[in-house]
Amino acid sequence: MIKTTGFYDLCIQESLFTSLLTNNDLIESLKSLHNFGYRTIAVNQSIDDGNIEVGKKKKKREPRETQDIVPVPFNLKRIQDVVAQLQLENFVVLNRLTVFFSHQEALHKITKSTNYKKFHIIAAAPTTMPAFTFTCTSLEADIFSFNPENKFNMRLNRKHYNLLIDRGFHFELLYSAAIQDSTKRKNLIHASHLFHAFGKSKNIIFSSGAENFMYIRSPYDIINLGFIFGLSELQCKSAVFHCPSKVVLNSVGRRHGKAVMFVENIESEKEDVIMLQESEGEDMETDQPRQKKTKI
C-alpha cells in the first residue's frame, strides 16, 4: 500500500528530470518542490497509438515481435536517492503513463504489455469519439486527460461525465499550458467550462504537465488560478489535495484487483467468561443427585 500525503503534482514530464544532468540541479529542483509544499509527484511518460501498427496478421512461420511497445517506466532510483540524502520526509515519487489513442485495437496491444502494468498511475487521453466512448464504458484507468495544444472536441454530456465519475476517473487540467501560450490557455478554459457545465466540476485535479521547472507553481497560486476554470474555493483546494489522493488510492485498487472481505463480530472476553460460568453452574446442577422425598 502506497502511503501519500499532499500537496500533489501527478504530471511532471519525464524530460524535466532527464534535462537535469547534474545532481546539484536535481537537488535544487527537489528542494523547491518540497518548499512549495508538494509531497507526492508523478513522473509522466506518454505513448501515442499513431506509432503502432494495427491490423496486419502475421504468417505462421513469421517471428513475433519481442520488443515491448510501451516504454520502460522511468527509473526513480536517482530521485529517491536524492530524497533520502536531503531527508525529505513523506516525499513520494510515482510513475505515470499517459495513453493517447484513437482506436481500440491499438489500445488492446498497449494494455496487454508487461511494461504497462508496472506504472503506478494510468491516464487516458482519447482523440476520437469512439475512443472516448470506449474510455467511458470499458477502459480501466485513473485519470481522464487531454492535450491542451488542441481544442477539446469530444461531444461531452452529463451521462458520459457521470459514467467516468462512477468508474473512479478524475478529470485533469494541466495548468502549465495556461502559462505558456494564449491558444493553449483558451483550449484549457474551454475544456474546464465544459466540465463545469456537464459535471459541476466534480473530480477535477490540477497538474503542472511541466517540461521545465519555471512553469511549476505553488499549490496556493494554483488555487487562485482555479477560479478562472470555474471552480469554487473548496473545489480548487480539493483539486491539489483530496482528489489527487483519491487517484493514487484508486490506482492501487485497479492494479491489485477487487477483493471480498467478511466482517464478523467478535464477542469480548468478559462475555465469554460470564457464559462459561453460567454453563459450569448449569452442569453442576445437573450433576447433583436427586433429593430423596421424606415421609411425614
Q: Where are the alpha helices (DSSP H) in the chain?
A: 14-18, 23-36, 77-86, 104-111, 129-137, 158-166, 176-180, 182-199, 219-225, 233-240, 242-256, 269-287
If you average pLDDT over residues 144-172, what whole number do you get? Answer: 93
Q: What does R_g of the chain's alpha carbons equal in angstroms?
A: 28
Q: Is the confidence at residue 276, as pLDDT, over 80?
A: no
Cell reading at 110: 498497449
Euclidean distance between CA atoms 64 and 53, whole angstroms? 13
The whole-model pTM stands at 0.82
In this predicted model, which residue has the larger pLDDT, 40 or 264? 40
How confident is the model at residue 105, as a pLDDT? 86
List phi, psi (to 5°) of 159. Answer: -65, -50
**8-256: CATH class:** alpha beta
Cell reading at 204: 477535477
Lowest mean pLDDT among 44-58, 127-141, 248-262: 44-58
| Coil, strand or helix at 41 | strand
Lowest mean pLDDT among 148-152, 200-204, 228-232, 261-265: 261-265
Is the link from the previous residue into 7 a cis peptide, with omega within 30 of 0?
A: yes
- Cell 518548499 locates to 35
* Residue 233 pLDDT grade (very low, low, confident, very high; cuts 50, 70, 90): very high
How confident is the model at residue 274, as a pLDDT? 58
Cell reading at 134: 470506449
Euclidean distance between CA atoms 288 and 111, whole angstroms? 75
In this predicted model, which residue has the larger pLDDT, 256 or 118? 118
Mean pLDDT of the chain: 86
Question: With pLDDT > 90 as the criterion, what percentage of the chain qualifies?
Answer: 68
Check if the beta carbon of residue 134 is closer than 8 Å to that of residue 103. Answer: no
- Residue count (the chain): 296
Check if the beta carbon of residue 142 is closer than 8 Å to that of residue 8. Answer: no
* Residue 22 pLDDT grade (very low, low, confident, very high; cuts 50, 70, 90): confident
First to last CA, the chain: 81
Strand order in the sheet with 204-207: 8-13, 40-48, 92-101, 121-126, 143-144, 170-174, 204-207
Q: Is the confidence at residue 173, as pLDDT, over 90?
A: yes
Euclidean distance between CA atoms 275 and 255, whole angstroms? 46
| Coil, strand or helix at 164 | helix
